[in-house]
Chain A
């Protein structure tokens, strides 16, 4: 009998570097850096003041350390906070003006921006290090009154909307990383959907880290006005490097009366090598406010990359009858670590939330689900359903579930279910006996395990995500 010996170490497909001349801020975190960023973006004064206020606030905040994955101290003075391709210093007006090297990069990543123009269905904002380099389908969207552009552009062109909503879900004085982001954020996407409008296509942002020793501080703001609907997707990749790079993003969503936002993430930052060297620290604050009645925010995340993933996409259910959802797949292999989950804060009456979390651990990895369900006194007749499933592969990985549940009224219902299973040798045997090899069998079983979450993704991405799930676990069953 042959033991199934699987040790194919698939290279991280997106680990290449684009050799391009860039403009950088001086190293270090200080007022000058912030002024540099604000200046190079030609920001209005109010924006600089906002940033400096955040920077001041940051001085009195400490980095949190309650999370399960620990990491070596980050030297914030040794990082670059802004890096942009020189060719993008004046934002190109059309795709023809974009540096061919950048176009080539996105093409290699599977996002052909030029062809994208001709394809129907998905509008893309492409963020390269600290700047947005292109946004497609803008004209078509503008006809419907939809604004889809980089946050930098929105600060210039739509200051009223930005002033009204920026920081309204993640305030300036939140936690350390969120406040750091408020001080030094560089680019990200801005979306505004006018009342009673259904966005006719998927909107998506593709984040790429290219420069070394650089942190990426993405800021995204999405507003769905009354009775509108939008589905938004983000993807992320980075080159393979020995250093750990910081990605500290803030994403704010606002849904007004009867509006719905569906936000999907396929996170595939460089995870580090087999021995845990290098990889992205993905420390992200994502929060949505269901501000209006009958509004809905749905987060779906497929987290397969990063050395450490630390994020809790959350919903604040303010409006009566509002709905929050969180669907998550977190896969950790080798020495990757994840501490992720959600917060569902029920404030309005008859609010509903649903949490489906699938954690998969392989190799020496560690995976934690951490979540809060908080039903306030006035949130009468509210409901939460939580399901946390963990799948372990091998004997060296870990899975942890840390649910926090607070219910402050007697008319609400909370359900919590959790399971932990090991990938079943008998199931693998059964699949093998039907002619499937080990990799196919693992992929089939794991995709089955994740199905409830995968089916939340927009069609075009569900297939990609399924493949990604399989690739992330390659070599994990011996």
Chain B
């Protein structure tokens, strides 16, 4: 599904990713761990198409060269990024935003746009699965939401848009244990043979709930070690410093 070859990314003349290879197949869950400043969030940004990076190397997504696509085109093709810090947009009703978003994606997929009533029915269902109060959907997008509410809102959007590849950028940061469980349940219930996950995290904590097939250790812009779920536990004990 996603093939990255010798990816280099530079921002403000600083080389952050220094030749990264990654291969993600449908049905797989990959975790990227690594110390601060290793380039984890840069990878998420680059995959989503965020402006400001100079890119070298290949990124192909289901056979399409991602470098040719705009941010929204990547999103429409099924790349979803759950933000580490979801943005507040004052004056914009959450429901309205979600509907606009879903319909843009549906339109791109050649599906019919949903009318308000059908949408409301759908969103209520999805919100219930994540234990999200309906009232929260009529509030302004992320405005005054707690950290946990913002992250749950990201997972809600993921489930609504049904992406092929979901990138979770430190979704576990700032979550208490209950919220963490809800988020993990949300991911697990969406996981199937056709979609894939790239989970970026500092800690093993989230991986106790979402079992990865692969764990990659990112350090100074390169993947220095790849292993299975056991690698996470090992890292928890020994830290990153002992890897080379």
Contacts and interface: CB of A to CB of B under 8 A. Distances in A.
A64 interface: no
B86 interface: yes
B87 A450 contact: no
Given A1-B55, A3-B51, A437 B72 contact: yes
Which secondary structure dominates chain B's binding surface?
A: mixed
Contact of B71 (A432, A445, A447): A432
Chain B interface category by residue count: 35 or more
A436 B70 contact: no
A197 B91 CA distance: 35
Given A427-B87, A440-B100, A434 B50 contact: no
B100 A430 contact: no
Given A1-B49, A3-B51, A436-B101, A448 B91 contact: yes
A436 B81 contact: no
Contact of B101 (A3, A427, A434, A448): A434
B201 interface: no
Contacts of A440: 100, 104
Q: From DSSP, what is the main secondary structure of chain A's interface residues?
A: helix
Interface residues of A, number: 27
B76 A435 contact: yes
A426 interface: yes
Contacts of B68: 2
Nearest to A434: B101
A429 interface: yes
Contacts of B92: 444-445, 447-448, 451
A65 B87 CA distance: 43
B86 A434 contact: no
A16 interface: no
A430 B90 CA distance: 13
A433 interface: yes
Contacts of B141: 448
Contacts of A3: 51
Nearest to A436: B104
Given A2-B69, A4-B70, A445-B92, A437 B104 contact: yes
B67 A435 contact: no
Nearest to B107: A435
Contacts of A99: none
Contacts of A438: 72
B158 to A, nearest CB: 10
Contacts of A4: 51, 70-71
Interface in B91-107: 91-92, 97, 100-102, 104-105
A106 interface: no
B157 interface: yes
A434 B67 contact: no
Nearest to A437: B72
B91 A447 contact: yes
A429 B71 contact: yes
A432 B70 contact: yes
A176 interface: no
Given A1-B67, A3-B51, A435 B72 contact: yes
Interface of B: 48-51, 53-55, 67-72, 75-76, 80-81, 83, 86-87, 89-92, 97, 100-102, 104-105, 108, 140-141, 157, 161
5 contacts: A2-B69, A4-B70, A444-B89, A445-B89, A448-B141
